[in-house]
Amino acid sequence: MIVTVTPNPSLDVTMPLERLTRGGVNRAGLCLREPSGKGVNVSLALHAAGAATVAVLPLGGPAGAELGVLLEATGVACRVTPIAGRVRSNLTLIEADGTTTKINEPGPRLDAAEVAGLLETAAALCAGHDWLALCGSLPDGLTTAALAGAVARARGAGLQVAVDTSDAPLLALVAGEGLDLPTVVKPNTHELATATGRSIDTLGEAAEAAAVLQRRGIGTVLVSMGGDGALLVDRRGALHGRAPVPRVVNTVGAGDAFLAGFLYAQDRHPGAREDALATALRWGAIAVQHPRTVFPGPGPASARPAVQLRSDFDVHQPLTEPAR
């Protein structure tokens, strides 16, 4: 089973528009309200594929109450830590040409007892299971030291630990040693550049930067690169993959579906890196073709996107979105 922890969940509100007019009145033809936050999205994707998962998260305030009701309706198993603060609402505006504008509220502040309750719940659930995924930003009150402690505790209990975060928490985790290091990290290109202090303009530079983290002791570095596909770097080297789609509708949540696909495949066939990257790419490709943040499920095999995998990729290929 895969346990996810979302320290800073959100109620996601998605509105499609013909075109966003700054300074004017914009009318949306539809409004989608969904439970969200990176770990929540990972659990939702796993649940849609029939995998066993439990989502651990704090909830409080009106948005938190609505998020809880929506999440319960999905059937995903949850363990909630009640908090005095208010869970955030995030707004996504999607224009007809695919341009996405995201407006994220700040999260609540968790006190020491709430942080302890959240992490203790996760630790108790992890006993006897296989994977812990710590995903998303950290709310005020949850320190990078506490996050590193949760990683070390899970690793010490024999779990595989995946982390998808950014900024100071990512920098702190990749600088750790031994059991403080997660098994898997999933940065995008910009997060990878920040974590390694490198400019990344080509596929080869992305692979080299990921290898820096892998040599520090992180088992697998998954790099999501949008239209440039993704890289998997582990002790066996670098593997590049792409899953082209005819039209991108909504990119929000695609990285979470990507990580969920990787965990789904690894949980069933540990060490099968090609299958894991291919599944991750397929799930990410499916996600970007749908207007909702919530992953719709992998669908029938005959309808899944084709995946291209190569270990002998062109290291000089420039990225469409370089990172500096």
Active site residues: 256
Task: Give CA angle at 305 (232, 94), nearest 5°.
Answer: 90
Per DSSP, 276 falls in state: H
What the block records as the tokens of 65 is 């109450």
Amino acid (one-letter) located at 21: T
Contacts of 87 (CB under 8 A, 6+ apart): 9, 10, 11, 58, 59, 60, 61, 63, 64, 67, 107, 108
Q: Beta-carbon neighbour count of residue 264 at 10 Å? A: 24
Is residue 224 within 8 Å of residue 243, measured between CB atoms? no
Whole-angstrom Cα Rg for the chain: 19
* Distance of alpha carbon 130 from alpha carbon 267, whole angstroms: 7
- Distance between alpha carbon 252 and the CA centroid of its chain, in Å? 10
